[in-house]
Amino acid sequence: MTAHLLRARATRQLGTFAGLVALSVVLWAATPHFLTVSNLLNVLEQTSINAIVAVGMTFVIVSGGIDLSVGSILALSGIALARSLEAGLPAPLAIGIALVTGLMCGVGNGLLVTYGRLPSFIATLGMMSIARGGALMAAEGRPISGFSEGFRALATARAAMIPAPVIITGVIYLVAHFVLSRTVFGRATYAIGGNEEAARLSGIQVRFHKTLIYGVAGLTSAAAAAILTARLNSAQPTAGTNYELDAIAATVIGGTSLLGGEGTLLGALIGALVMGVLRNGLNLLNVSSFFQQVVIGTVIIVAVLIDMGLKRGRR
């Protein structure tokens, strides 16, 4: 990768980050409740679930695919977790079962895309319905709730004031960033997204890596499910509806191209924060909930428009 390209990528992130800062400045000017330690921690905690789902989404989108099933996989993993806790399994084992559930669903997506040769849109659309139905069946349509204090610490614990979900999100991002930027798997992800045929010809095991990429998306959805379940003290078969759209939005606001081959996790994290700060700010300002949706949609479109304009300008 040339130095020029590296610099281009860094500036793009700087742009998204500047957007986040500008947004915060506006909110700070508009309401005294925004820039307080407790509110900022509150925003970080609220953002954690979307941010974690966006990790897997970034891997998939960088590889040139899309994953519509992450919200449903989140629900199914959450129910698997709740059922295990209900059966009296210790919390770490129950969380392990949830993670395996998510991973299996993701790998299922991956196999459909690679060996089944289905477009990722179709494979994950099918999985979206299958996992949702599975969650409803496993839960008999009802929420499962009432868990031990120990398990709920996943959402309620604090270390030096920082809520546990924020710390977990930070750790997941550090690990995922290392994987995406410093490992063979990460380089394969970019290569496949850039030009799949070229990646194959240069000796990358495309099927293997792609299957794994969807597995990562399933895994991060399951991790988000564990936090959501602890946070609400309840697992719902209808949880995570539309979360795939929030995760896609966070990813593209962060400068990841839906065409594949480029994008970073730092961008996704900033994108998730933009969405979280925006929702929080609109609540603080008491903007009508209908207009909030208009604002969020506008921000997504404008962020991508600016990004595209800049890319064109640089060429």
Partner 1 sequence: MTRLAWRVTLAILILGGPAACNRDASTATRGAPRVAFVMKTLNHPFFLDMQRGAQEAADRAGLQLVVQAAEREIDVEKQMQIIENLLQTGIKVLIVTPSGSREIASAIVKANRAEVPVILVDTRVDPKAAADNHLRIASFIGSDNYEGGRLAGEHLAKSTGGKAHVAVLEGIPGHETGDSRLRGFRDALQKHPGMSIVASQPANWERDQGFTVFQNMLQAHADIDALFACSDLMALGAVEAIAAAGRSGRIRVVGFDALDDARRAIAAGQMEASMAQSPRDMGRLAVEAAARLLKAEPVPPDQTVPIELVTKGS
Among 42, 130, 179, 185, binds partner 1 (CB under 8 A): 42
Among 44, 46, 56, 113, binds partner 1 (CB under 8 A): 46
Which region, judged by CB under 8 A, interacts with partner 1, from 43-51, 54-62, 86-94, 198-206?
A: 43-51
Among 142, 197, 312, 315, binds partner 1 (CB under 8 A): 142
- Compute the least distance from the CB of residue 86 to partner 1, in Å: 14
Contact between 256 and 125 under an 8 Å Cβ cutoff? The reply is: no
Which region, judged by CB under 8 A, interacts with partner 1, from 111-119, 164-172, 207-215, 276-284?
A: 276-284
Contact between 251 and 61 under an 8 Å Cβ cutoff? The reply is: yes
Among 130, 157, 295, 304, binds partner 1 (CB under 8 A): 295
Among 137, 293, 308, 314, binds partner 1 (CB under 8 A): 293
Is 310 an interacting residue with respect to partner 1 (CB under 8 A)? yes
Nearest Cα neighbor of 284 from 50, 51, 38, 52 is: 38
In the chain, what's the furthest Cα-to-Cα distance?
Answer: 59
- Compute the least distance from the CB of residue 140 to partner 1, in Å: 8
Is 23 an interacting residue with respect to partner 1 (CB under 8 A)? yes
What DSSP string runs through the chain? --HHHHHHHHHHHHHHHHHHHHHHHHHHHH-TTTSSHHHHHHHHHHHHHHHHHHHHHHHHHHTT---S-HHHHHHHHHHHHHHHHHTT--HHHHHHHHHHHHHHHHHHHHHHHHTS---HHHHHHHHHHHHHHHHHHHHTTS-EE---HHHHHHHH-EETTEEHHHHHHHHHHHHHHHHHHHSHHHHHHHHHHH-HHHHHHTT--HHHHHHHHHHHHHHHHHHHHHHHHHHHTEE-TTTTTTHHHHHHHHHHHTT--TTSS---HHHHHHHHHHHHHHHHHHHHTT--HHHHHHHHHHHHHHHHHHHHHHHHHH-
Question: Which residues have CB under 8 Å from 242's CB, separation 6+?
Answer: 71
Is 299 an interacting residue with respect to partner 1 (CB under 8 A)? yes
Among 9, 33, 83, 207, binds partner 1 (CB under 8 A): 33
Which region, judged by CB under 8 A, interacts with partner 1, from 95-103, 184-192, 196-204, 286-294?
A: 286-294
Is 143 an interacting residue with respect to partner 1 (CB under 8 A)? yes
Among 7, 36, 129, 258, binds partner 1 (CB under 8 A): 36
- Identity of the residue, 57 or 123, whose beta carbon is nearer to partner 1 in the bound complex: 57
Within its chain, how far is the Cα of 178 from the centroid? 17
Is 301 an interacting residue with respect to partner 1 (CB under 8 A)? no
Is 164 an interacting residue with respect to partner 1 (CB under 8 A)? no
Total binding residues for partner 1 by CB under 8 A?
A: 55
Which region, judged by CB under 8 A, interacts with partner 1, from 40-48, 65-73, 99-107, 175-183?
A: 40-48
Instruction: Kindly identify the residues of this chain, within the stretch 226-245, that bind partner 1 according to CB under 8 A.
Output: 228, 231-234, 236, 238-239, 241-242
Residues that bind partner 1 (CB under 8 A): 15, 18-19, 22-23, 25-27, 30-31, 33, 36, 38-39, 42, 45-46, 49, 140-143, 145-146, 228, 231-234, 236, 238-239, 241-242, 279-293, 295, 298-299, 302, 306, 310
